[in-house]
Structure 1
Amino acid sequence: MFASTAYAMATNGGGAAGQQNPYSGIIMLVIMFAIFYFLLIRPQQKRAKQHKQLVESLKVGDQVTTAGGMHGRIAGLQDDIVTVEIATGVKVKFNRSSIVAAPGQNPGN
């Protein structure tokens, strides 16, 4: 049933082959790029911007979560280094970029 319908639709009454829009390939590429942009590129740029704001707004005393899952309070800040106190008297140094969440933020978003 479907094969005969598809065959009937493929033939053009025995005449010349069907004419296609010469721009259809370009239009499809533009549509595919738009889909990739709105589903992949744009959300990634948004997350990167939010992370950059988070890293720049860190201050001593903030509760933070690192990319490795360590929770603690910021005890010191340098240019690219954050010292996090994970227990009383236990301080660990991390790169600023490894901080993924601060108070009021969900690290999964």
Structure 2
Amino acid sequence: MDFFISPAYANAAASTGPGLLDFAFPVILLVLFYLMLIRPQSKRAKAHRAMQAALAKGDEIVTDGGIMGKILEINDNAMTVEIAESVVVKVRRESVSSVLPKGTLKKI
């Protein structure tokens, strides 16, 4: 079978073992993964938790479902939101995606 594939012989002098670059590449990948994905996501989550903790009566909000309204009453887990005149719904505190500037609902 040697006439189809020439035999390969290992060069004993060239096999020095794994180099520094073999270990550095996965470490560099992990650092990049942390800096580009994990750290920004944790910063966003921290800012979102702070926004939800700072909710107060009278704030104008948007829920995850896209419902816009004004907070009438707020408890630990739920809040009462007026979405139209005399239309009141109860939503969970965690479903708030953003707080609108004051007066936004009157402009819409």
Please give the range of the TM-score, normalised by the shorter of the 2 chains. 0.7 to 0.9
For the residues of structure 1 that align with 2:88 and 2:44, how far apart are their CA atoms? 28
Structure 1 stretch displaced more, 22-31 or 37-46: 22-31
For normalisation by structure 2, the TM-score amounts to 0.74
Alignment partner of 1:56 out of 53, 56, 60: 53
- Which ranges of structure 2 fall in alignment gaps of 5 or more residues? 1-10, 102-108
Could you tell me the TM-score, scaled by structure 1's length?
A: 0.74
SS at match of 1:102: strand
Displacement of 1:22 after TM fit?
A: 2.8
Partner letter of residue 76 of structure 1? E
- Give the alignment partner of residue 32 of structure 1, picking from 19, 29, 34: 29
1:71 aligns with 2:68: yes
Q: Equivalent residue of 2:88, what SS?
A: strand
The equivalent residue for 1:91 is 88
Distance, in Å, in 2 between the alignment partners of 1:77 and 1:46 is 26
**How many residue pairs align between the two structures?**
91
| Residue type of the alignment partner of 1:92 | V
Q: Secondary structure of 1:65's partner?
A: strand
Give 1:30 deviation, angstroms.
1.2
Unaligned runs of 5+ in 1: 1-13, 105-109
C-alpha deviations, 1:9-43, integer Å up to 9, x for none? xxxxx894375653323211111111111111011
Deviation at 1:84, TM superposition (A): 1.1
Amino acid at match of 1:99: V
**In structure 1, what is the Cα distance between the partners aligned to 2:22 and 2:95?**
43
Structure 2 residue aligned with 1:17: 14
Distance in 2 separating the partners of 1:32 and 1:97: 34
Aligned equivalents of 1:15, 1:33: Cα separation in 2: 33
Q: Which has the larger radius of gyration?
A: 2
